[in-house]
Chain A
Amino acid sequence: MLRPVAYITAPWPTQEEVEKLYPISKVRKRALQALVDEFKAKLSNREEAPVTSIEPEKRRKRASAA
């Protein structure tokens, strides 16, 4: 059996390309940007979460080792 695999070397799409490929009205652009900002904030919080949950564990281990 044969299944193709594509190795993508093309650069990531730029904002200019996105504007050209998927044009939308200014109003919708603003609305989507608000969603993107909200989602990015959510993603940032999500990424920080494991760090804060690991820290108490580390502290506990250090304390028990001492």
Chain B
Amino acid sequence: MPPLPDPKGVFLNVPYDEEFSSLYVAYIVGLCQLGLVPHLASEITGGDRRLDRIFQLIQSCRYSIHDLSRVELNVAPSATPRFNMPLELGMTITWQILNPDQHTWFVWESEPYRLQRSASDLNGTDPCIHDGTVDGVLRELRSAFHRDKMPSVPQMLTVYGLVNSALSSIFVANGTRNHYDRSVFKELCRLSLSLTTHFFPPA
């Protein structure tokens, strides 16, 4: 049996593309503002089979967010559908069915009712609809995750603005412009978590 999952751990299953990057930053900021700890497949290093490592990461997290809002074909030639996110959602659902007390998964979409067409087997599951906006992601995070002393959406938006303004210096320091790069991800998480304590100083 794998060890018990981190009760604050959230596996983020999101598309790694430029157009999604503002929502990706919103997920990181929002989760950190709620005292949760985001994890991303790009954190994974080492020579093992990638899928095995992703499954280990899912198992190590108490929660997962599967954003299926960009299910359309990617624009690069030759256009291919994005199967990674549904694949990882399928793995997660199996894990949760076998271990119902150890994992909770959430499906996110930008449009209401589209999930019923793109993945009709999920009918009966109500997705979080973020409308493709930063505000929507933060609003839905607050609706999905409850805890004492939650920040308001405007407070979260303020922190989002600050973290977003630091992105260019983080890119320069890490020699990349890739939001999903492991180093950039780590720094975004650290920055977001550091700003959390501003609103809720540790006792």
Contact = CB atoms under 8 A, between A and B. Distances in A.
A4 to B, nearest CB: 5
A19 to B, nearest CB: 9
Chain A: interface residue count, which band? 20 to 34
Interface in A7-48: 7-14, 17-18, 21-24, 28, 31-33, 35-36, 39-40, 42-43, 46
B162 A8 contact: no
B198 A22 contact: no
B180 to A, nearest CB: 15
Interface of B: 7-8, 34-37, 63, 104-106, 124-128, 143-147, 158, 162, 166, 169, 173, 183, 186-187, 189-191, 193-198, 200, 202
Interface of A: 1-14, 17-18, 21-24, 28, 31-33, 35-36, 39-40, 42-43, 46
23 contacts: A1-B124, A1-B125, A3-B126, A3-B127, A6-B104, A8-B7, A8-B8, A12-B202, A13-B37, A13-B193, A18-B194, A21-B37, A21-B189, A22-B189, A22-B190, A31-B169, A32-B191, A32-B194, A36-B195, A40-B195, A40-B198, A43-B162, A46-B158
